[in-house]
Structure 1
């Protein structure tokens, strides 16, 4: 039965398995033979470099014949097998798999054929200088190779050879494109950039060639062809990047930095030449309008002769989309060149006075025109930091003004202190006339018309200089510092709100800086030199005196919240007073220590009969007088009269107290000792008050300076000691006057008894006298 069915099917022509199987086996063997011949040919061509054009064409014909046979068999198998029963599927599955494998092999062979064709067409296009077509064929070969590498089972050795060939051809084309680019944009650069100067920059030239390709068959201009080919190969950005760096460093930046440098354009038949020329100028920094004009000339030239070329966007693959070369170059150079313009040009154009702010509108206008011109040439899209910087002139003015003020103030603080000027109650700081405060009719508070000083309860009027700073000497630098503070606050009253607030707090920062810098910078001199410590004391008092009213003078001319009470410097007054007082008190302590050290050489004023002891004591007294005299010379014309008298009185009192304590502690004073002690004390009494003698111009203060006991606390006690050294027992008892006399006012009972015991021998008269001292 089965043989009958088989015979029927075989005679009906629907099943010819054995015939198909044999044909497929023969076809498979042939495919393998062709595969081997193709691989061998590829290896010979790209690896062994053997000419094989004829054999390649024969193989192509054979491949096409095999493809048609495979297609015929495939269609026959699919039509016949799919109509058969399920049982026949398993029998033909192996045949189908083998056929699919052959199909894959043929696909690889077709791609190898396309790769070879792309390389051939690339070589022809490169020979004809059709760079766009050459680049496209090279990219096609690249994509084919990428597909081949993604297939599994392909021979790696063959693909490696193809990859090497593709790399060699790509580098070859880039070399040709580089040669063409160097002919289109030729640079002549200075020999060295280590010492860049105007003279070196004059050696810079840029030649832009405008000639088309010499090949008549190429319709695309050479420049467009080269740039489009570079874009296809992905090398355009690298070329423009290198070009942009040369353009920045050798043309654009020098034009901004050097005011005397100008660009010159020379037109030639082959293209244009851009070079530099110098123009004499005394400007240290070029004005912005001039810089913008020079830069616009260069960028317009570059745009016209190099960048105004339509380039297709290869990445998007859309023929309608174009790459704007000017925009690409603009993105590369704009950030750096705008920083240079700001740093070397716009910064120096910021006015230093608020009255010149209106003139800065011209700079803003020229900056805006410059950016609009660049937008027109597609270098820029939107407004950039350059225009924002120019428009933000008020903030930059305030920052620059504040910086200049702080620098000036610090230079004054670190200058010499001993250069002084005389300050009198009539001295005034010149303040510019302030405008009438806005909205002053709404300001609540007392008016400040010029009025006579108010009368007191007893109808005695205050003097004109009641609240004035007394006459003294201050550093010239401090006077200039205060003038700077007043001028800065006056500038703030004419500025807008943010600027005014910034300037006001800059003035506060000036005084904070003084508080920190001066005591540290001049620390050694303030400790060693008495005159400088006195001047520093006056400086601090002078600043504190002005700080009391400085804020009130400008309060209603400043914006909120300054006008609402924040504009004050009164909180800084105690700190400055303390700063001056501490420095001067430290000097006073040092001088006191020196006086006591000198008096320590007086042998405790004991045994004055010994000539050596007397000479030592006399020398110590002379040194004390000399020290006080020297201090008087350096302090008298510097310190205010009252401060000077208190300071000298305190030092003289220190010396007197030391002498009183040493003499009162003596247990035995002979007649000769008493005479010599009297002489020493008399020297102090006679010469000590001389340090209070007023200067000729201080004659009006003579009444204060003659009252020595006011400033020397132990002056009267010292005088009583001198009297005791020369007095008899009766005179001492009379001056005691039962504890009511002048001696009892200055000395205690024990001190008087001790002196009597030391001066007088133990007799009944001395005992009676001691008994009366109680």
Structure 2
């Protein structure tokens, strides 16, 4: 045991692997022996109860020695073996680092070899016009350069040279492909940058020439495909097609859509077809092209391009699909706004004929799908064509509003006469249910409507009074009736649009006319009267316009919402306000003229009398002039009320000034009587509403009905020349005609001004109570 441990401890230097293993085996055997001895001792100690104290002590000593030898061996292993392990790891790491460096160098050399081989093969493929192979080889060379750049330790000056060479070769390759592309489609364009007229596009020409392969075979599909594939691999194909699509739209497709006189001619040549824009007639026609014409011209261009250039697949798509994605949105927008929008019918009766346009649009899109220009099943173009009812209504509404506004801003003084026999005439409407055909016809002025089989309405029912209205307003009403007529039999949406457009017409009139003609309505009495009649004319028709068409409208218009009655009060008020504003202006002018009469005092003075006489004459002249302006315009009753109101203002002002006089001499009384008598004689003459009216005297006799203070004024004139007894008699103790017009204090004041203070005057005043 001691010699074994001593031998282990005496060892120095490296421990051989075999020696160490042998020593471990020996220790293991000693451990096993000891383990058996311990087990045997324990067995005897606790099982056989044999006293063996001496043997146990010897055995314990043996265990302690083996344990000490194990600790020594362990320390030796920790010191010697661990030291050698660290040395081995350092050597292994150094060798590994050297190996990795060598591997990197070998990899870089491999990439350099791949780049060189790729560039050599590229030059051969390029020279042989194998463009797809050349493009792939350029990609391989690029991958090799990229791989070299990824190594951090590969900062070689050679990389810059390789990158520059690759860029030069790629740009040269792309330039050559671009030249090949230009030979495929050769444009001849006008010199001007912006088109000013249709003839600008007549110089446009597109020549399609298929590039030849190495064998000189023109039109070789494989060679053409090789060019396109190479352009796509270089990322330049979409850019080339985008430029081509922009030129195609601007110089050929759009002019063919916009100008009816332009067409396209295809000429087949040995090296490819040529598309030339030409005009159909000697003079270019300004009208818009029909959808059929546009579709025919566009398909001719697109089919030619498809068959000679675009029927090639690049990746998963054909060139026609790529071009279609680029041009379809703008092309369809141009077709809609430059062609389809002008083909929308202007009358509902023409809507059925529009089905042909819808069918042509479907066939046009179907042809585009066959050539793969178009991929989507639902397009704005076809949707627009199918929504013809909505577009018809929108176009109709727009045209109606524009026409209505033009009428509203036209001259108002061009008038038409509304005669007594004029009746509201309704357009022919479709029959409702079992209605008799005769109910569809226009109502004549001789027709009478019977009620309960016995009573009948007057022949003047639904007739306007005799007056004059603006010709533009009559045309406006006809426009509203015709628009309502278009709504009959239309779709619900179309009918609603047209109905509310008619309402917008009247609302526009309500807002525009008073503002646009504001100054003239205040300045010219003639126009104010016409505007009054216009408003009353529109209000009259609005009463029954909705009711007349409601049974023929689709729901919900037929359920009661198709009415214009709510607008009637507004138009009546508008007309009344306009005319009342003019009446107030005329009243102000009358009062201004009477203000120059010097209060009708001291008429003994010739100057004062002349001033008062001039003021009265001016009032009469103003009323006569207004009568001339209004007598053929306003209805009779309105005319009489208006003139009566103005005359009443004048005589009320005269009476007020006379009643304020405190002293009226006999001569002054005569002068006042003369002036007032002038008003009494000439005032009724203004009540001549119609020149050809045979009953003008009737209106003159009814002056007290229109002039509120006419009888009061006449009584005042009588008093100015009467004596005290006549005044007392006409007073008749408060029951006479004089008492009906004047109060007691007013009469007493007038008597005191006319007569001197005598007993007779005092007696007369006492009788006036």
Common topology (TM > 0.5): yes
The correspondence of residues 200-211 of structure 1 with structure 2, limited to 5 A, is: 200-211=200-211
Does the aligned pair in 2 maintain the 1:429–1:483 contact within 8 Å? no
The superposition leaves residues 269-292 of structure 1 with CA deviations (integer Å, 9 ceiling, x where unpaired) of 111111122112646001111110
In the TM superposition, residue 166 of structure 1 has moved relative to its aligned partner by 2.2
Q: Does the aligned pair in 1 maintain the 2:644–2:707 contact within 8 Å?
A: yes
- Partners of 1:374 and 1:132 lie apart in 2 by 30
Partner of 1:341: 335
Is 1:761 the counterpart of 2:756 in the alignment? yes
1-structure distance, mates of 2:456, 2:265: 79
Question: 5 Å matches for 1:277-316?
Answer: 277-280=278-281, 282=285, 284-311=287-314, 313=315
The answer to whether 1:415 aligns with 2:410 is: yes
Counterpart of 1:127?
127
Q: Secondary structure at the match of 1:225?
A: helix
Per-residue deviation, residues 181-226 of structure 1 (Å, max 9, x unmatched): 1112111110003243232211111111124223479987432222
Structure 2 residue aligned with 1:243: 244
Superposition map of 1:91-110 within 5 A: 91-110=91-110
2:171 counterpart residue number: 171
Alpha-carbon offset, residue 130 of structure 1 = 2.1
Matches within 5 A, 1:497-512: 497-512=492-507
2:332 is the counterpart of 1:329:
no
- In structure 2, relative to structure 1, the CA distance for the partners of 1:453 and 1:537 (3 Å cut) is farther
- For residue 163 of structure 1, report the CA deviation from its aligned partner: 2.8
Q: Give distance in 2, aligned partners of 1:344 and 1:4.
A: 101
SS in 1 for 2:427: coil
Deviation at 1:303, TM superposition (A): 0.7
Which residue of structure 1 aligns with residue 370 of structure 2? 376
Once the two structures are superposed, the pairs formed by residues 671-710 of structure 1 within 5 Å of their partners are 671-700=666-695, 702-710=697-705
Q: Secondary structure at the match of 1:697?
A: coil
Number of the residue aligned with 1:273 = 274
In structure 1, C-alpha distance between the alignment counterparts of 2:425 and 2:763, rounded to whole Å: 74
> Which is worse superposed, 491-500 or 256-265?
491-500
Following superposition, the deviation at residue 168 of structure 1 comes to: 2.1
Deviation at 1:123, TM superposition (A): 2.3
Question: C-alpha separation between the residues in 2 aligned to 1:4 and 1:155?
Answer: 45
Does residue 723 of structure 2 align to residue 728 of structure 1? Answer: yes
**1:535 aligned partner:** 530
Describe the superposition over 1:493-523 as per-residue Cα deviations: whole angstroms up to 9, x where unpaired: 1212211121111111111111111111111
Gaps of 5+ in 2: 1-10, 20-83, 437-442
1:206-605 mapped onto 2 (5 Å cutoff): 206-215=206-215, 221-280=222-281, 282=285, 284-311=287-314, 313=315, 322-383=316-377, 384-437=379-432, 452=449, 463-466=458-461, 468-605=463-600
1:743 to 738, 742, 751: 738
Structure 1 residues 687 and 455: alpha-carbon distance in aligned structure 2, compared to 1, 3 A threshold: farther
Q: Give the C-alpha shift of residue 462 in structure 1.
A: 5.4
Q: Matched residue of 2:288: which SS? A: coil
Report 1:603-642 matches (<5 A). Answer: 603-642=598-637
Q: How far apart, in 2, do the equivalents of 1:700 and 1:549 lie?
A: 33
Q: How many residues align?
A: 683
Structure 1 stretches lacking a partner, 5+ long: 10-83, 314-321, 442-447
Distance 1:200 1:589 in 2: 64
1:685/1:702 Cα in 2 relative to 1: closer, same or farther (>3 Å)? closer
How far, CA to CA, are the matches of 1:454 and 1:494 in structure 2?
Answer: 30
Cα deviation code 1:104-127 (max 9, x no counterpart) = 232122112212222222222222
CA RMSD after TM alignment = 2.6
Deviation at 1:451, TM superposition (A): 6.4
Name the CA distance, whole Å, in 2 between partners of 1:460 and 1:704: 31
Greater Rg over alpha carbons, structure: 2
For residues 440 and 107 of structure 1, do their structure 2 counterparts lie closer, same or farther at Cα, with a shift above 3 Å needed? farther
Distance 1:92 1:217, change over 3 A: farther
Change (3 A) 1:667 1:194: same
Distance verdict in 2 for CA 1:463–1:429, change over 3 Å: closer
TM-score for both structures, normalised by structure 1:
0.84
Q: Is the 8 A contact 1:453 1:464 kept in 2?
A: no
CA distance in 2, matches of 1:297, 1:156: 59
Whole-angstrom distance in 2 between the partners of 1:223 and 1:272? 16
TM-score (norm: length of structure 2): 0.85
